Homo-oligomer: A and B are copies of this chain.
Amino acid sequence: MVASFHEECLERAASLWRAILAHPFLEETAACRIPDAVFANWLKQDYLFVQEGIRFICALAARAPHALRRPLASAIPALEAELDLFAGMAREKQIELEGVRMAPTCHAYVQFLHATAWQASFEEGFTLLYAAEKAYLDSWRRVRDNLAAPSPWQPFIERWAGEEFSRWVAWLEATLDELAAAAGASARERMAEIFLLTARYELRFWEMAYRGEAWPE
Protein backbone atom coordinates (compact mmCIF):
# COMPACT_ATOMS: atom_id res chain seq x y z
CA MET A 1 0.00 0.00 0.00
CA VAL A 2 1.26 3.46 -0.88
CA ALA A 3 1.96 5.72 2.07
CA SER A 4 0.04 8.97 2.16
CA PHE A 5 2.10 12.14 2.00
CA HIS A 6 1.96 12.87 5.72
CA GLU A 7 3.08 9.30 6.46
CA GLU A 8 5.96 9.70 4.05
CA CYS A 9 6.98 12.93 5.79
CA LEU A 10 6.81 11.37 9.25
CA GLU A 11 8.81 8.41 7.99
CA ARG A 12 11.55 10.66 6.58
CA ALA A 13 11.60 12.64 9.82
CA ALA A 14 11.49 9.55 12.04
CA SER A 15 14.73 10.12 13.93
CA LEU A 16 13.95 13.81 14.44
CA TRP A 17 10.48 12.92 15.65
CA ARG A 18 11.89 10.40 18.13
CA ALA A 19 14.29 13.06 19.42
CA ILE A 20 11.42 15.51 19.85
CA LEU A 21 9.24 13.06 21.77
CA ALA A 22 12.14 11.90 23.96
CA HIS A 23 13.32 15.42 24.72
CA PRO A 24 14.16 15.94 28.42
CA PHE A 25 11.88 18.99 28.48
CA LEU A 26 8.87 16.79 27.77
CA GLU A 27 10.13 13.92 29.89
CA GLU A 28 10.66 16.11 32.94
CA THR A 29 7.34 17.85 32.38
CA ALA A 30 5.60 14.47 32.37
CA ALA A 31 7.55 13.40 35.45
CA CYS A 32 6.52 16.65 37.16
CA ARG A 33 10.11 17.48 37.94
CA ILE A 34 10.78 20.20 35.41
CA PRO A 35 12.07 23.29 37.21
CA ASP A 36 9.60 26.17 37.13
CA ALA A 37 12.20 28.49 35.63
CA VAL A 38 12.82 26.08 32.76
CA PHE A 39 9.12 25.72 32.04
CA ALA A 40 8.84 29.50 32.22
CA ASN A 41 11.49 29.82 29.50
CA TRP A 42 9.29 27.85 27.20
CA LEU A 43 6.11 29.64 28.21
CA LYS A 44 7.58 33.07 27.51
CA GLN A 45 9.01 32.11 24.16
CA ASP A 46 5.98 30.16 23.03
CA TYR A 47 3.77 33.11 23.90
CA LEU A 48 5.79 35.21 21.46
CA PHE A 49 5.76 32.38 18.96
CA VAL A 50 1.97 32.02 19.04
CA GLN A 51 1.51 35.76 18.44
CA GLU A 52 3.53 35.38 15.27
CA GLY A 53 1.85 32.08 14.48
CA ILE A 54 -1.45 33.94 14.22
CA ARG A 55 0.06 36.31 11.67
CA PHE A 56 1.41 33.28 9.83
CA ILE A 57 -2.04 31.69 9.63
CA CYS A 58 -3.51 35.01 8.50
CA ALA A 59 -0.99 35.13 5.65
CA LEU A 60 -1.80 31.53 4.72
CA ALA A 61 -5.53 32.26 4.78
CA ALA A 62 -4.88 35.28 2.54
CA ARG A 63 -3.44 32.96 -0.12
CA ALA A 64 -5.70 29.95 0.46
CA PRO A 65 -8.16 28.59 -2.09
CA HIS A 66 -11.67 29.62 -1.04
CA ALA A 67 -12.58 26.16 0.23
CA LEU A 68 -9.67 26.22 2.70
CA ARG A 69 -9.92 29.85 3.74
CA ARG A 70 -12.74 29.45 6.23
CA PRO A 71 -11.37 26.42 8.11
CA LEU A 72 -7.91 28.02 8.23
CA ALA A 73 -9.23 31.33 9.49
CA SER A 74 -11.28 29.51 12.12
CA ALA A 75 -7.97 28.75 13.85
CA ILE A 76 -7.36 32.45 14.45
CA PRO A 77 -9.79 32.90 17.36
CA ALA A 78 -8.60 29.55 18.76
CA LEU A 79 -5.05 30.86 18.78
CA GLU A 80 -6.10 34.18 20.31
CA ALA A 81 -7.71 32.10 23.09
CA GLU A 82 -4.42 30.23 23.39
CA LEU A 83 -2.68 33.57 24.00
CA ASP A 84 -5.19 34.26 26.78
CA LEU A 85 -4.35 30.87 28.28
CA PHE A 86 -0.64 31.77 28.27
CA ALA A 87 -1.36 35.15 29.84
CA GLY A 88 -3.58 33.58 32.51
CA MET A 89 -1.01 30.90 33.40
CA ALA A 90 1.74 33.52 33.46
CA ARG A 91 -0.23 35.63 35.93
CA GLU A 92 -0.99 32.61 38.09
CA LYS A 93 2.67 31.54 38.18
CA GLN A 94 4.00 35.11 38.38
CA ILE A 95 5.87 34.90 35.11
CA GLU A 96 6.45 38.29 33.50
CA LEU A 97 5.50 38.33 29.79
CA GLU A 98 6.08 42.02 29.15
CA GLY A 99 9.36 43.02 27.54
CA VAL A 100 10.52 39.48 26.84
CA ARG A 101 12.76 39.31 23.78
CA MET A 102 12.65 36.41 21.36
CA ALA A 103 15.56 34.04 21.89
CA PRO A 104 17.57 33.22 18.75
CA THR A 105 15.85 29.92 17.97
CA CYS A 106 12.40 31.41 18.48
CA HIS A 107 13.30 34.36 16.27
CA ALA A 108 14.68 32.09 13.57
CA TYR A 109 11.62 29.83 13.62
CA VAL A 110 9.31 32.84 13.37
CA GLN A 111 11.24 34.19 10.38
CA PHE A 112 10.90 30.76 8.79
CA LEU A 113 7.11 30.92 9.27
CA HIS A 114 6.81 34.35 7.70
CA ALA A 115 9.27 33.80 4.86
CA THR A 116 7.49 30.58 3.92
CA ALA A 117 3.98 32.02 4.11
CA TRP A 118 4.83 35.05 2.01
CA GLN A 119 7.33 33.78 -0.48
CA ALA A 120 7.02 30.03 -0.92
CA SER A 121 3.98 28.28 -2.41
CA PHE A 122 0.74 28.05 -0.44
CA GLU A 123 1.27 24.29 -0.25
CA GLU A 124 4.67 24.72 1.39
CA GLY A 125 3.21 27.10 3.95
CA PHE A 126 0.43 24.64 4.67
CA THR A 127 2.98 21.87 5.19
CA LEU A 128 4.83 24.00 7.74
CA LEU A 129 1.58 24.56 9.62
CA TYR A 130 0.76 20.87 9.70
CA ALA A 131 4.26 19.89 10.81
CA ALA A 132 4.28 22.38 13.68
CA GLU A 133 0.81 21.45 14.91
CA LYS A 134 1.42 17.71 14.53
CA ALA A 135 4.63 18.04 16.59
CA TYR A 136 2.66 19.79 19.33
CA LEU A 137 -0.10 17.19 19.30
CA ASP A 138 2.35 14.31 19.56
CA SER A 139 4.57 16.05 22.12
CA TRP A 140 1.81 16.91 24.54
CA ARG A 141 0.11 13.56 24.12
CA ARG A 142 3.41 12.00 25.13
CA VAL A 143 3.41 14.21 28.23
CA ARG A 144 -0.19 13.32 29.01
CA ASP A 145 0.37 9.58 28.54
CA ASN A 146 3.40 9.57 30.83
CA LEU A 147 2.09 11.97 33.42
CA ALA A 148 3.34 10.95 36.89
CA ALA A 149 1.01 13.20 38.89
CA PRO A 150 -1.30 16.17 38.41
CA SER A 151 0.78 18.78 36.66
CA PRO A 152 0.96 22.46 37.53
CA TRP A 153 0.86 22.98 33.77
CA GLN A 154 -2.29 20.93 33.21
CA PRO A 155 -4.12 23.48 31.00
CA PHE A 156 -1.37 23.34 28.38
CA ILE A 157 -1.48 19.54 28.38
CA GLU A 158 -5.24 19.58 27.96
CA ARG A 159 -5.10 22.15 25.20
CA TRP A 160 -2.74 20.27 22.90
CA ALA A 161 -3.47 16.68 23.89
CA GLY A 162 -7.22 17.35 23.79
CA GLU A 163 -10.05 16.56 21.41
CA GLU A 164 -10.49 19.92 19.74
CA PHE A 165 -6.83 20.29 18.87
CA SER A 166 -6.74 16.69 17.70
CA ARG A 167 -9.60 17.34 15.25
CA TRP A 168 -7.78 20.41 13.93
CA VAL A 169 -4.64 18.39 13.27
CA ALA A 170 -6.70 15.64 11.62
CA TRP A 171 -8.18 18.22 9.26
CA LEU A 172 -4.73 19.64 8.48
CA GLU A 173 -3.46 16.11 7.84
CA ALA A 174 -6.23 15.12 5.46
CA THR A 175 -6.01 18.44 3.63
CA LEU A 176 -2.23 18.21 3.33
CA ASP A 177 -2.58 14.78 1.73
CA GLU A 178 -5.03 16.22 -0.80
CA LEU A 179 -2.76 19.16 -1.62
CA ALA A 180 0.20 16.83 -2.05
CA ALA A 181 -1.79 14.49 -4.28
CA ALA A 182 -2.64 17.40 -6.57
CA ALA A 183 0.94 18.72 -6.69
CA GLY A 184 3.67 17.83 -9.16
CA ALA A 185 6.66 15.75 -8.04
CA SER A 186 9.08 18.63 -7.52
CA ALA A 187 6.50 20.70 -5.64
CA ARG A 188 5.86 17.68 -3.40
CA GLU A 189 9.58 17.30 -2.74
CA ARG A 190 9.79 20.95 -1.68
CA MET A 191 6.87 20.35 0.68
CA ALA A 192 8.69 17.37 2.23
CA GLU A 193 11.78 19.52 2.75
CA ILE A 194 9.66 22.09 4.58
CA PHE A 195 8.34 19.30 6.79
CA LEU A 196 11.87 18.20 7.70
CA LEU A 197 13.01 21.75 8.40
CA THR A 198 10.02 22.34 10.63
CA ALA A 199 10.82 19.18 12.59
CA ARG A 200 14.36 20.47 13.08
CA TYR A 201 13.09 23.83 14.32
CA GLU A 202 10.65 22.08 16.68
CA LEU A 203 13.46 20.06 18.20
CA ARG A 204 15.63 23.14 18.54
CA PHE A 205 12.76 24.99 20.18
CA TRP A 206 12.55 22.45 23.05
CA GLU A 207 16.31 22.60 23.29
CA MET A 208 16.25 26.41 23.52
CA ALA A 209 13.70 26.24 26.31
CA TYR A 210 15.56 23.50 28.18
CA ARG A 211 19.10 24.88 27.96
CA GLY A 212 18.29 28.58 27.88
CA GLU A 213 19.69 30.59 25.01
CA ALA A 214 20.74 34.19 24.53
CA TRP A 215 21.78 36.58 21.81
CA PRO A 216 25.25 38.06 21.77
CA GLU A 217 25.07 41.64 23.09
Q: Which residues of A are in contact with B by a Cβ distance under 8 Å?
A: 15-16, 19, 51, 54-56, 58-59, 61-64, 66, 69-70, 73, 76-77, 80, 104, 107-108, 110-119, 121-122, 182-187, 197, 200, 203-204, 207, 215-217
Contact = CB atoms under 8 A, between A and B. Distances in A.
25 contacts: A19-B216, A54-B69, A55-B64, A58-B59, A58-B69, A59-B62, A62-B119, A70-B80, A73-B76, A73-B77, A73-B80, A104-B204, A107-B108, A107-B112, A108-B112, A111-B115, A114-B114, A114-B115, A114-B119, A121-B121, A182-B185, A184-B187, A187-B187, A200-B215, A207-B216
Contacts of A113: 115
Give this chain's copy count. 4
Nearest to A56: B62
A6 to B, nearest CB: 18
A25 to B, nearest CB: 14
B216 A117 contact: no
A21 B15 CA distance: 39
- Identify the 8 closest CB pairs spanning chains A and B, nearest first: A108-B108, A111-B111, A114-B115, A59-B62, A58-B62, A118-B118, A58-B61, A111-B115
Contacts of A77: 73, 77
